[in-house]
Structure 1
């Protein structure tokens, strides 16, 4: 019986790894190539924002002039987009208590994305995005910890019966 559980866990981990790699490919496509956000052409020069909270403040200040989609996408899109990364990274690296690794990996992945935008001259290299992506990864990791805690509690109660 325990052997089946271990095998199921291994199979689930493999499935999460596949989903994780597909997710990374999807993020790169969305950020660098998606025509929906004007990525089909690119700029003549690179665009950079190194002032923390500049874009967040700009979108918040002018939210009444912008579409709801633009405001939500720019203020919350990065957080939502990177939450799955923070959730899946402890599974992929096979560490239950991997807080710092999850935050570092999310920050590093975000930096790779932003640097790719800079090099390819699509989008903007934005420190606000680095911050919001990392916050998203942190939220994803916290959700992961809650799920693990609930799962462990469920298994302990089931084993006690």
Structure 2
């Protein structure tokens, strides 16, 4: 791949990364989903790892598929683009860097929710978000390998 195409691809990655971060901030902090329209009367938080994951799985039939899916898989899925676009748009290309930044961003979001009492602080969300970021990085690495193999065949 020539230098011009590489720069264009990196520029596209940066634009998509900025748009994704904007979406993420809106969705996780300001969206009307899950009671984020105002301050809660009684604030709930979870500091016990796997507590909410177990609860959502155990009571999945009472809570419904949508609630279970959005909590368990939604927290992973929403961070997959972060893990994909981070190495595309920055110099941080290692899996460890993606793990670190995914964890850091998730911790910042959860801490913001704790301080503002909008949403709820949950260590399980931090774990699931970090897993999503690493999954996105793995998808990025696979895509790069496929692209390199395709370019070599030409």
1:153 equivalent to 2:149? Answer yes
Cα distance in 2, alignment partners of residues 55 and 85 from structure 1: 23
Counting only pairs closer than 5 Å after superposition, residues 8-47 of structure 1 correspond to structure 2 as 8-44=5-41, 46-47=43-44
Any conservation in 2 of the 1:79–1:132 contact (CA below 8 Å)? yes
Larger Rg belongs to? 1
4+ residue runs over 3 A deviation: none
CA drift of 1:37 comes to: 2.2
* CA displacement at 1:92 relative to structure 2: 1.6
Displacement, 1:46?
4.2
**Aligned partners of 1:63, 1:75: CA distance in 2, in Å?**
11
Question: What TM-score does the superposition give when structure 2 sets the normalisation length?
Answer: 0.94
**CA gap 1:78/1:150 in 2 versus in 1, 3 angstroms:** same
The TM-score normalised by the length of structure 1 is: 0.90
Corresponding residue of 1:132? 128
Structure 1 residue runs of 5 or longer lacking an equivalent are none
- Looking at structure 1, the residues matched to 113 and 96 of structure 2 have their Cα atoms a distance apart, in angstroms, of 26
CA RMSD of aligned residues (A): 1.4
Partner of 2:83 in structure 1?
86
**What residue in structure 1 maps to residue 74 of structure 2?**
77
Tell me if the contact between 1:59 and 1:71 (Cα under 8 Å) persists in the aligned partners: yes
Unmatched tracts of structure 2, length 5 or more: none
CA contact (8 A) 2:92 2:98 kept: no
Of 94, 97, 101 in structure 1, the residue corresponding to residue 97 of structure 2 is 101
What displacement does 1:45 show? 5.3
Moved more, 79-88 or 33-42: 33-42
Q: Is the 8 A contact 1:82 1:106 kept in 2?
A: yes
Tell me how far apart the structure 2 counterparts of residues 51 and 8 of structure 1 sit (CA, whole Å). 47
Measure, in 2, the Cα distance between the counterparts of 1:45 and 1:38: 12
Q: Residues 57-76 of structure 1: matches in 2 within 5 Å?
A: 57-76=54-73
